[in-house]
Amino acid sequence: MISVTQAREILFSNPLSLPEEFIPFQKSLNHTLASDVYADRDAPPFHRVTMDGIAIQSAGLQTKKQFEIEGIQAAGQEQMTLKNSENCLEVMTGAVLPKNTDCVVPYEMVQINRGMAVVNELEFEKFKNVHLQGTDAKKGDLILRKDSWIHPGILSVLASLGQEKVKVVRPPKVLICATGDELVGVDQHPLPHQIRTSNVYMLAAALQNLGIAAQTAHLPDHKEALRSAIEKALESHAILLFSGAVSKGKFDFLPEVLNELGLEILIHGVTQKPGKPFLFGRKNENFVFGFPGNPSSSLVCFHNYFKPWLSKQLRRQEPQASGILAEEVIFKKPVTYHLLVRTEIQEGNIMAYPIKNSGSGDWVHLSEADAFLSLPADKETFKKNDVFPLNYFHKGGF
Amino acid sequence: MISVTQAREILFSNPLSLPEEFIPFQKSLNHTLASDVYADRDAPPFHRVTMDGIAIQSAGLQTKKQFEIEGIQAAGQEQMTLKNSENCLEVMTGAVLPKNTDCVVPYEMVQINRGMAVVNELEFEKFKNVHLQGTDAKKGDLILRKDSWIHPGILSVLASLGQEKVKVVRPPKVLICATGDELVGVDQHPLPHQIRTSNVYMLAAALQNLGIAAQTAHLPDHKEALRSAIEKALESHAILLFSGAVSKGKFDFLPEVLNELGLEILIHGVTQKPGKPFLFGRKNENFVFGFPGNPSSSLVCFHNYFKPWLSKQLRRQEPQASGILAEEVIFKKPVTYHLLVRTEIQEGNIMAYPIKNSGSGDWVHLSEADAFLSLPADKETFKKNDVFPLNYFHKGGF
């Protein structure tokens, strides 16, 4: 058995190379940008009016307060010219600053009467209420770096830069496999010794939250059938996630079958709770993650191993979060303890409250947790207000 | 003009009643559950084996260490019975504990040889490694409350409880409208005085992250055309979001047109920066949100007003986050200042670093922000390490 740290090291030294593809920018949300993007013109592209009002020559204000209105410069109109520098032009937010003017006095400071604008200020800075051409970026500047994660703000930048098609990293195909003859469909009435399939839906939902539409399958607990099902699945899916069949049970055929199929088992067993039998195997560009079948074990392994690994393959920077333990916890086994918690932000601090539960098979209380803290193996007492690495299962209502 | 607090009070006192509907549980992620859900049987439904090993009578260990193996109780098999209480049955994780046994000794503590299991322990607690029937819930217990937000853990509970169809709150139909004659399509080469449409894509992406597929439209800056477009849109969409046309410009027809269409303008102008001209109007079950057209103004108003309002209509509990200002900020206007920040979690603290930018029209630097802090109107100096309300634009890579 290896430690959590060792397991993560092995994992991260096994990369999957993902292809790149062009997709319409509207569909690029939550993808990874696969190319640098440069400004196709200055930003703003012209001296841009930022308030509705009148454009004048600022120097004129020192000697006069009345300006005859020559016309209106609307947004989306070609740049106009103030003919007489003693006069003004009305200007709208987003319009080009007219030629022969250098500042905008907002309507709030102006009275307009019979074609004359009267200003109640004696002085007005040059370029006041003007967003000067090229302030934010110059044509040719690097605006978005390769490997950026496309969130709404970046998607909007892609639109502004005219990137109708965007080069992104293509997410891998993932198949989530349930095993276990005790499982029946959600639409079934289970017999007394059966339970309904649920982990695969939980993992599929977790992947959906990452923007990945995974497929699900239920594989049999019979060795031959399992082998042929896996062999076939590996042809069409780069990644298989298993819930169950990785432990020491008589029908936990997964490690054996993977071996027979030529996969190298790189991790099997980690000094942690829950999730001790966690398995990771590889053959060329195929990767198999085996999570123990208990709900907490599956979800914790997904978030502690699969998600950061996938994130790295998708070239995303995923900073490690941390949380503050809100109550003392004692845990005496010399293994990393992934403690289920409910988090609350208090005065800018992420407080983590332990969730009472009866162990990794307790799906009722698992659903109350929104994260887990990873308490290190070399301690037994974890004090209130101590800080530990935090992994979120999800990030709150919205 | 009213304060941010007043604006939010007005907003929250204008509810939209959303219908409920049944959808397949697999599609229910990120919806709001619209009914209480009860346990259809005990959880676990039987005394459930939690380790692979042998099931015995615990009392026997005090006098003997060798147990003849009668057979194997697999997961998914009907409950077996240990015939001779001096013997044992091999049992697999997830199986029913056999009749006439009361604990499970894991394989790690057992040597098996020629049909005999030898245990290296003198004592073993009753029900050790057994997840007792009904520990987590009893048949008939309330498991999920109405108005819960369906995250992966809850979706999995719905599966476990056999909720093939789930009653959820149906999200409203939203149309996001761009206005502004300066805007051209993303696929166009703008003339010098034009810019490409981007805000509507940003807002649509923000809604997509909330699980809502909104439509987008570009409405003209001409009063009659705008009125008929809005009139039509209100027939098919409960909610219209506008970017632009709400300020004091000559072509900002939105307030006037909404009035003519019989909408009551409940908010127009809030003492905040950015987003001063924010507008909110209503007519029966139709709601219009007008965001100023600058990118930061639109995004801040979306997150400060629309999102919490929508969240409430969807019956979601959205706790207010807070962040710690990482650098002193001085802001002298007596209005709420929504400061763009980049957040980082350090030792369980959410640190917020101000993003340098040239104002609300600067979409280049907006994309570096992942949140904003709302600094109150009654102060001018905001000290390093002071705590303020925080709104996330998005929540990190994954």
The CATH number of the domain holding residue B152 is 3.90.105.10
Identify whether A363 is part of a domain: yes
Write down the H helix ranges in chain A.
4-12, 152-160, 199-209, 223-236, 254-260, 295-301, 307-313, 363-366
- Residue A98 maps to which CATH number? 2.170.190.11
- Please tell me what DSSP assigns to residue A208: H
- Last residue of some domain: B102, B131, B160? B131
Q: Are residues A10 and A98 in the same domain?
A: no
Q: Are residues A355 and A290 in the same domain?
A: no
Nearest alpha carbon to residue B307 among B200, B178, B208, B169: B208
Query: A14 falls in which pLDDT band (50, 70, 90)?
Result: very high
- Residue B380 maps to which CATH number? 2.40.340.10
Residue B283 has pLDDT above 90, yes or no: yes
Strand partners, B181: none
Nearest alpha carbon to residue B197 among A373, A26, A88, A330: A26
Q: Are residues A39 and A26 in the same domain?
A: yes
Residue A9, chain B, CB below 8 Å: the answer is no
Residue A307, chain B, CB below 8 Å: the answer is yes
Cα distances (angstroms) measured from residue B138 to each of A62, B159, B356: 83, 17, 56
Please indicate whether residue A181 or residue B307 has the higher confidence score (pLDDT).
B307
Which whole number is the average pLDDT over B138-151? 96
Rounded Cα–Cα distance for residues B360 and B272 (Å)? 12
A331-357 core/surface letters (b: 16 or more CB in 10 A; e: else): beeebbbbbbbebebeebbbbbbbbeb
For the beta carbon of residue A385, count every other beta carbon within 10 angstroms. 12
Residue B180's pLDDT is: 85
Residues 6+ apart with CB under 8 A from A193: A182, B46, B76, B77, B78, B79, B95, B96
Q: Are residues B282 and B350 in the same domain?
A: no
Single-letter code of the amino acid located at A222: H
Residue A60 has pLDDT above 90, yes or no: no
Nearest to A350 among B25, B294, B348 (CB): B348
Residue A61's pLDDT is: 85
Cα distances (angstroms) measured from residue B29 to each of A176, A207, A211, A366, B314: 17, 11, 12, 16, 14
Q: Are residues A330 and A193 in the same domain?
A: no
Residue A250's pLDDT is: 80
Residue A345's pLDDT is: 95
Q: Are residues B92 and B217 in the same domain?
A: no
Q: Are A95 and B193 inside 8 Å of each other by CB? A: yes
* Mean pLDDT over the full length of chain B: 95
Distance from the Cα of A213 to chain B's closest Cα (Å) equals 12
- Residue A210 maps to which CATH number? 3.40.980.10
Residue B170, chain A, CB below 8 Å: the answer is no
Residue B327, chain A, CB below 8 Å: the answer is no
Which whole number is the average pLDDT over A373-391? 98
Residue A353, chain B, CB below 8 Å: the answer is no
Rounded Cα–Cα distance for residues B30 and B166 (Å)? 12
Q: Are A397 and B361 inside 8 Å of each other by CB? A: no
Q: Are B156 and A187 inside 8 Å of each other by CB? A: no
Which whole number is the average pLDDT over B218-237? 93
Rounded Cα–Cα distance for residues A87 and A70 (Å)? 7
Identify whether A398 is part of a domain: no
Q: Are residues A39 and A53 in the same domain?
A: no
Which whole number is the average pLDDT over B175-191? 94
Nearest alpha carbon to residue A243 among A286, A285, A188, A306: A306
- Chains A and B: how many Cβ contacts under 8 Å? 361
- Please tell me what DSSP assigns to residue B381: E
Nearest alpha carbon to residue B3 among B247, B297, B269: B269
Residue A396's pLDDT is: 59
Residue B275 has pLDDT above 70, yes or no: yes
Identify whether B397 is part of a domain: no
Cα distances (angstroms) measured from residue A209 to each of B150, B236, B310: 12, 29, 20
Q: Are residues A185 and A266 in the same domain?
A: yes
Strand partners, B287: B239, B282
Q: Are A293 and B159 inside 8 Å of each other by CB? A: no
- Last residue of some domain: B120, B151, B169? B169
Rounded Cα–Cα distance for residues A345 and B321 (Å)? 6
A278-315 core/surface letters (b: 16 or more CB in 10 A; e: else): bbbbbeeebbbbbbbbbbbbbbbbbbbbbbbbbbebbb
Q: Are residues A163 and A28 in the same domain?
A: yes
Residue of A nearest to B153 (CA): A367
Query: B396 falls in which pLDDT band (50, 70, 90)?
Result: low
Q: Are B131 and A344 inside 8 Å of each other by CB? A: no
Query: A72 falls in which pLDDT band (50, 70, 90)?
Result: very high
Which whole number is the average pLDDT over A216-226? 90
Residue B204 has pLDDT above 60, yes or no: yes
Domain span at B99: 48-131
What digits encode the pLDDT tens for the residues A290-299?
999 999 999 9
Rounded Cα–Cα distance for residues B109 and B111 (Å)? 7
Distance from the Cα of A186 to chain B's closest Cα (Å) equals 5
Nearest to B48 among A210, A319, A361 (CB): A361
Residue A220, chain B, CB below 8 Å: the answer is no
Q: Which residues of A touch B252 (CB under 8 A)?
A: 52, 92
Burial of B295 (0-12, 13-18, 19+ CB in 10 A): buried
Query: A398 falls in which pLDDT band (50, 70, 90)?
Result: very low
Residue B398's pLDDT is: 47
What digits encode the pLDDT tens for the residues B334-391?
999 999 999 999 999 999 999 999 999 999 999 999 999 999 999 999 999 999 999 9
This prediction has a pTM of 0.95
Identify whether A272 is part of a domain: yes
What digits encode the pLDDT tens for the residues A241-290?
999 878 777 878 999 999 999 999 999 999 999 999 999 999 999 999 99
The single residue listed with the structure tokens 């082998």 is: A227
Rounded Cα–Cα distance for residues A305 and A7 (Å)? 8
Identify whether A124 is part of a domain: yes
Identify whether A151 is part of a domain: yes
Specify whether the CB–CB gap between B121 and A159 falls below 8 A.
no
Which whole number is the average pLDDT over A11-40? 97
Q: Are residues B308 and B377 in the same domain?
A: no
Q: Are B367 and A156 inside 8 Å of each other by CB? A: yes
Identify whether B272 is part of a domain: yes
Query: A195 falls in which pLDDT band (50, 70, 90)?
Result: very high
Identify whether A397 is part of a domain: no
Residue B89, chain A, CB below 8 Å: the answer is no
Q: Are residues B275 and B330 in the same domain?
A: no
Best residue in B201, B216, B349 for a mutation probing chain A (most A CBs within 10 Å): B201
Adjacency order of strands within the sheet including A286-291: A215-218, A174-178, A239-243, A286-291, A279-283, A264-268
* Mean pLDDT over the full length of chain A: 95
Q: Which residues of B touch A319 (CB under 8 A)?
A: 344-345, 396
Q: Are residues A39 and A141 in the same domain?
A: yes
Rounded Cα–Cα distance for residues A306 and A297 (Å)? 13
Cis peptide before B19 (omega within 30 of 0): no
Query: A121 falls in which pLDDT band (50, 70, 90)?
Result: confident
Q: Are B393 and A317 inside 8 Å of each other by CB? A: no
Q: Give how many domains chain A has, as a whole number.
A: 4
Best residue in B156, B212, B216, B349 for a mutation probing chain A (most A CBs within 10 Å): B156
Please calculate the CA angle B319-B322-B328 and round it to the nearest 5 degrees. 165
Cis peptide before A295 (omega within 30 of 0): no
Q: Are B190 and A45 inside 8 Å of each other by CB? A: yes
Do the interacting molecules here have an ipTM over 0.90? yes
| Full DSSP string of A77-101 | SPPPB-SSTTSEEEE-TTSBPPBT-
Rounded Cα–Cα distance for residues A294 and A307 (Å)? 18
Cis peptide before B389 (omega within 30 of 0): no
Rounded Cα–Cα distance for residues B342 and A37 (Å)? 21
Rounded Cα–Cα distance for residues A162 and A123 (Å)? 40
Residue B247, chain A, CB below 8 Å: the answer is yes
- Last residue of some domain: A102, A131, A160? A131
Question: HSE-up of A393 (CA within 13 Å, CB side)?
Answer: 32
Which whole number is the average pLDDT over B164-179? 97
Which whole number is the average pLDDT over B93-113? 95
Name the token pair of A40. Answer: 């196709």
Burial of A381 (0-12, 13-18, 19+ CB in 10 A): exposed
